[in-house]
């Protein structure tokens, strides 16, 4: 096609991790929209490259403007105009903001059949910007003489602003919503979430020992210590961890992990996600799709959530010995969502460190709606 005659492909390899690549293997995508965008660029990654476990950035041109395709662990994780420098990405903790703006700007200009105009898309997505208009975003973002700032407005919207010294020259605002930030529908997000949890190989099993008593709060009537964490929404939904003195020691503290303290043990097990165990989640997703129940190791699932930027908060719903029903909220404020996990455990299995936990997962709950789930 003549429209794409000037697209060139220059490969910029940032780093190659873990083994050779094999030409011709299929390329995976983090979202359906990324595959659609690569197709619209008329660039066949399947024929050109296969990345296995490489972390790579491809630099293309579209309409004589630089485009980046980021590949991580063999998967395309980002496609968009290259508007932000590597230095900005390295020193500002807002990758999801930069990725969104670069992808959104390119997607608005790709030659695809549109159901709605760009103006209608902006209005529907609640994206607002300076009077000069959305089309000016690229030029301001690429101007290295301007000062860039990113602000989180009340946990609901991001505001990105460019200034000339102290004078604002351009801004753009948009909601902190996972679907918008990643360009994927909720059914797609759920499907990919389950597949990613099952495929996750990471696990950081270790016993967290402490030697500093200063960080611990003694609970004398229980004969143990609390390492206080934060709370979320409720006073009893916390990231607290629980410790006791190691045997034959007056200075070494080890995590509580015993049937004698079932709820404290569950809190420490699920909040840390690192204590050695052979427990598995029988995980059922409550959502848009009728997805089958899957079995995944507890620590691997928790490690996956942490890798996505989630922070855990644990609370007890009910305890009728030996069955405990607990809630684990995995909170990701930078992407505007929480995962809610309702976990049912037979605490008699704690001492053997082996068993199955029934888990009902409600994923990607907008943070503005999480509080309503705990009204009762």
Rounded Cα gap, residues 224 and 261, in angstroms: 10
| Residue ranges covered by each domain of the chain | 186-206+259-374
Question: Please, what is the Cα angle at 230 between 318 and 349, to 5 degrees?
Answer: 40
Q: Which of 11, 47, 45 is nearest to 28 (CA)?
A: 45
Helix (H) or strand (E) holding 283: strand 278-285
Determine the 3-state secondary structure of 28 from DSSP: strand
Helix (H) or strand (E) holding 100: helix 95-107
**Residue linked to tokens 């003195």:** 245
Calculate the dihedral angle through the C-alpha atoms of 154, 145, 82, 135, rounding to the nearest 10 degrees.
70
**pLDDT, tens digit, for every residue of 303-359?**
999 999 999 999 999 999 999 999 999 999 999 999 999 999 999 999 999 999 999
Rounded Cα gap, residues 268 and 320, in angstroms: 19
Q: Which of 68, 303, 286, 334 is nearest to 187 (CA)?
A: 286
Calculate the dihedral angle through the C-alpha atoms of 208, 212, 213, 219, rounding to the nearest 10 degrees.
-10
| Interstrand relation of 224-227 and 241-245 (parallel, antiparallel or unpaired) | antiparallel
Q: How far is CA 335 from the centre of its chain?
A: 7
Asked if 26 and 46 touch (Cβ cutoff 8 Å), the reply is yes
Asked if 76 and 96 touch (Cβ cutoff 8 Å), the reply is no
pLDDT tens-place values along the chain, 376 residues long: 332 223 233 333 222 223 333 444 567 899 999 999 999 998 877 655 555 556 788 899 999 999 999 998 888 999 999 999 988 988 888 999 999 999 999 999 999 888 889 999 999 999 999 999 999 999 999 999 999 999 999 999 999 999 999 999 999 999 999 999 999 999 999 999 999 999 998 767 777 777 778 889 999 999 999 999 999 999 999 999 999 999 888 889 999 999 999 999 999 999 999 999 999 999 999 989 889 999 999 999 999 999 999 999 999 999 999 999 999 999 999 999 999 999 999 999 999 999 999 999 999 999 988 878 776 5
Output the six-digit token pair for 326. Answer: 């607990």
**Residue linked to tokens 């005659």:** 5
Residue 32: CB atoms within 10 A of its CB come to 14
What is the number of alpha carbons within 13 Å of residue 317 lying toward its C-beta? 16
Output the six-digit token pair for 214. Answer: 């200063």
Asked if 110 and 103 touch (Cβ cutoff 8 Å), the reply is no
Rounded Cα gap, residues 53 and 30, in angstroms: 14
Determine the 3-state secondary structure of 179 from DSSP: helix
CATH topology of domain 186-206+259-374: Nuclear Transport Factor 2; Chain: A, (3.10.450)
């Amino acid at each position: 096609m003549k429209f794409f005659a000037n697209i060139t492909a220059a490969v910029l390899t940032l780093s190659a991790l873990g083994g050779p690549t094999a030409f011709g293997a299929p390329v995976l995508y983090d979202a359906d929209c990324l595959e659609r965008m690569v197709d619209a660029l008329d660039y066949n990654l399947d024929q050109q490259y296969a990345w296995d476990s490489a972390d790579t950035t491809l630099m293309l041109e579209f309409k004589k403007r630089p485009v980046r395709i980021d590949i991580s662990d063999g998967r395309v994780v980002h496609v968009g105009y290259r508007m932000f420098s590597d230095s900005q990405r390295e020193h500002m903790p807002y990758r999801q903001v930069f990725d969104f703006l670069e992808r959104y700007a390119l997607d608005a200009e790709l030659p695809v059949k549109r159901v709605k105009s760009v103006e209608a898309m902006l209005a529907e997505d609640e994206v607002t910007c300076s009077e000069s208009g959305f089309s000016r975003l690229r030029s301001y973002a690429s101007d290295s003489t301007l000062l860039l700032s990113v602000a989180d407005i009340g946990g609901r919207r991001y505001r990105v602003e460019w200034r000339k010294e102290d004078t604002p020259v351009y801004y753009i605002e948009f909601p902190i919503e996972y679907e918008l930030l990643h360009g994927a529908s909720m059914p797609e997000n759920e499907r990919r979430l389950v597949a990613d949890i099952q495929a996750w190989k990471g696990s950081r099993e270790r016993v967290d020992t402490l030697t500093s008593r200063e960080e611990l709060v003694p609970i004398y009537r229980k004969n143990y210590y609390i390492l206080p964490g934060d709370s979320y929404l409720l006073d009893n939904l916390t990231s607290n961890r629980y410790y006791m003195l190691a045997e034959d020691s007056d200075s070494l503290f080890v995590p509580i992990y015993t049937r004698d303290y079932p709820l404290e043990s569950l809190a420490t097990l699920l909040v840390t996600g690192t204590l050695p165990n052979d427990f598995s989640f029988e995980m059922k997703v409550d959502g848009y799709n009728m997805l089958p129940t899957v079995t995944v190791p507890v620590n691997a699932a928790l490690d996956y959530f942490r890798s996505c930027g989630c922070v855990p908060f644990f609370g007890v719903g009910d305890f009728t010995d030996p069955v405990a029903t607990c809630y684990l909220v995995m909170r990701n404020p930078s992407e505007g969502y929480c995962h809610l996990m309702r976990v049912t455990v037979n605490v008699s299995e704690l001492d053997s460190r082996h068993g199955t936990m029934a888990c009902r997962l409600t994923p990607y709950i907008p943070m503005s709606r999480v509080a309503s789930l705990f009204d009762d």
